[in-house]
Amino acid sequence: MKVTFPEGFIWGVATSAYQIEGAWNEDGKGESIWDRFSHTPGKIANGDTGDVACDHYHRWREDVALMKELGLHAYRFSISWPRLLPEGRGRVSAAGLDFYSRLVDALLEAAIEPSITLYHWDLPQALQDQGGWPARATAEAFVEYADLAARRLGDRVKHWITLNEPFVSAMVGYLEGRHAPGHSDLDEALAAAHHLLLGHGWAVPVIRRNSPGAQVGIALNLSGQTPASPSAADRAAAWQRDGVINRWFLDPLSARGYPADIVQHYGRPMDFVQAGDLEAIAAPLDFLGVNYYTRGVVRSSVVSEAENAPRTVLPNPERTEMGWEVYPEGLYEILGRVHFDYRFPALYITENGAAYPHQIGPDGQVDDPLRVAFLKEHLAAATRAIAAGVPLRGYFAWSLMDNFEWAHGYSKRFGLIYVDYQTQRRVLKTSAHWYRRVIAANAVVD
């Protein structure tokens, strides 16, 4: 059966600045926390850095041409904050602005709608030196940056995403320490999460003012958390995990404040929350962006294995190269849950995709059948959500091309387009050719 999408459905791909641009210190760009982190020995697999990455800063014309070849309707990319504001606030880099301005023009010329993410994890190091996201002043700096970007680009860019995955910025960066700036402090992480949300909420009206008619939203990493058994202990553990990952962000964005059970679970003073903050964070949005990769299957750590009920939910043994369970139904589940519980005016899948090994044939073609299968099943799940009444307006595949996968460096490839990092040659994988046909048909094709 042919699975089709509604008319006007937006087909896109996503990338982020640090993962593809390179040119880390060119044309006056300031240092970001990811420059600092990747230059710190031992932080990134194989000692990789984003210094060159996909060299997109120099090859953007070629990359836009490839996007046009795919027939994309939209391109989600992020702005490197320190490329625009090398010290984080104050002095503006004209070269930085020019880069994004030309990119936007080239996209529009190719009939591809630009969708800008303002913050995809690369905080100016100068702001980290003044306290980073745990400091309230960083939220103020973010609004100045959002104001500048929307003033200069908002005449042409009508799709804005304030933050990418504030959970990951705060928790992986300031608590788990696997991402920049590499700290391990729960109070810092909670303050960081709050100031990220606050900066977001303050920025929403500023973007709207500078970019009339714009759609403004945020992208969250959301994933259902399934109890490993129906035991009370597993159900409580799964609900708590859900609170930490999903509700901690969805609830305050929806004017419900922070979830009381998780506030209690953290047991911290939360004294960074000031009068008026929660109202600001709940600024009405035009859409919510959902980044979906996998689900969690949660087993209680409070009750011992012997006392707990036998596991009844076993993860699908099929995993991506990240070790993440392949669970397409989870996309249907999370879209439905978010829509029926929270009622944002529209939803976009702002990221979905998989890392898989590829094969380069003797003819130079790059085959990735597992990625095609992964995307097919997830798109089918998305159509089931639409049929159930979810206002899903578009889909952005992660990612346009192989790129710097954070702490994994270049070892994990998520691209529809293969990148030979030695020569910077790009080759459309089987999945890219397939995606072109999906877009043309507005349907899941074979």
CB of 204 to ligand FCB, least distance (A): 20
Q: Any contact of residue 164 with ligand FCB (CB under 6 A)?
A: yes
Q: Any contact of residue 291 with ligand FCB (CB under 6 A)?
A: yes
Q: Are the beta carbons of 204 and 146 closer than 8 angstroms?
A: no
Site for ligand FCB in 333-362 (CB under 6 A): 351
Site for ligand FCB in 367-426 (CB under 6 A): 398, 405-406, 414
Kindly name the residue from 113, 165, 333, 405 that is annotated as catalytic: 165
Q: Are the beta carbons of 376 and 444 closer than 8 angstroms?
A: yes
Angle made by CA atoms 96, 97, 100, in degrees to the nearest 5: 95
Which residue do the tokens 């059970």 mark? 261
Kindly name the residue from 113, 325, 351, 405 that is annotated as catalytic: 351
| CB nearer ligand FCB, residue 119 or residue 272 | 119
Q: Any contact of residue 170 with ligand FCB (CB under 6 A)?
A: no
φ/ψ (deg, to 5) at 70: -75, -15
* Piece in contact with ligand FCB (CB under 6 A), picked from 63-71, 160-168, 332-340, 427-435: 160-168
Strands (E), 20-145: 74-78, 113-119
| CB nearer ligand FCB, residue 117 or residue 300 | 117
Q: Are the beta carbons of 158 and 214 closer than 8 angstroms?
A: yes
Residues 6+ apart with CB under 8 A from 103: 60, 64, 77, 114
Containing 298, the helix (H) or strand (E) segment is: strand 296-298
* Piece in contact with ligand FCB (CB under 6 A), picked from 25-33, 163-171, 184-192, 249-257: 163-171
CA dihedral for 388, 390, 396, 399, sign (positive or negative): negative
CA-CA distance, 435 to 12, in Å (whole number)?
10
CB of 137 to ligand FCB, least distance (A): 25
CA 234, distance to chain mean position in Å, is 28
CB of 245 to ligand FCB, least distance (A): 12
CB of 343 to ligand FCB, least distance (A): 24
CB of 321 to ligand FCB, least distance (A): 11
Site for ligand FCB in 217-256 (CB under 6 A): 221
Q: Are the beta carbons of 169 and 180 closer than 8 angstroms?
A: no
- The two three-digit tokens of residue 101, written as one number: 């301005």
* Piece in contact with ligand FCB (CB under 6 A), picked from 43-51, 123-131, 164-172, 268-276: 164-172
| CB nearer ligand FCB, residue 164 or residue 231 | 164
* Piece in contact with ligand FCB (CB under 6 A), picked from 105-113, 134-142, 162-170, 302-310: 162-170
CA-CA distance, 155 to 352, in Å (whole number)?
29
Amino acid in position 252: P
Rg (CA), the chain: 21
| CB nearer ligand FCB, residue 118 or residue 168 | 168
According to CB under 6 A, which one of 122, 165, 277, 333 is a site residue for ligand FCB?
Answer: 165
**Pairing mode of beta strands 359-360, 366-367:** antiparallel
CB of 408 to ligand FCB, least distance (A): 9
| CB nearer ligand FCB, residue 221 or residue 231 | 221
Helix, strand or coil for residue 63?
helix
Q: Are the beta carbons of 116 and 78 closer than 8 angstroms?
A: yes
Query: Cis omega (within 30 of 0) on the bond before 254?
Result: no
21 is catalytic: no
CB of 438 to ligand FCB, least distance (A): 20
351 is catalytic: yes
According to CB under 6 A, which one of 5, 16, 135, 188 is a site residue for ligand FCB?
Answer: 16
Q: Any contact of residue 77 with ligand FCB (CB under 6 A)?
A: no
- The two three-digit tokens of residue 131, written as one number: 């306290």
Number of residues that bind ligand FCB (CB under 6 A): 12
| CB nearer ligand FCB, residue 244 or residue 443 | 244
Amino acid in position 296: G
| CB nearer ligand FCB, residue 299 or residue 319 | 319
Scored b (16 or more CB within 10 A) or e, 191-200 reads bbbbbbbbbb
* Piece in contact with ligand FCB (CB under 6 A), picked from 87-95, 161-169, 257-265, 415-423: 161-169
Catalytic residue ranges:
165, 351
Give the interface with ligand FCB as residue ranges (CB under 6 A). 16, 19, 164-165, 168, 221, 291, 351, 398, 405-406, 414
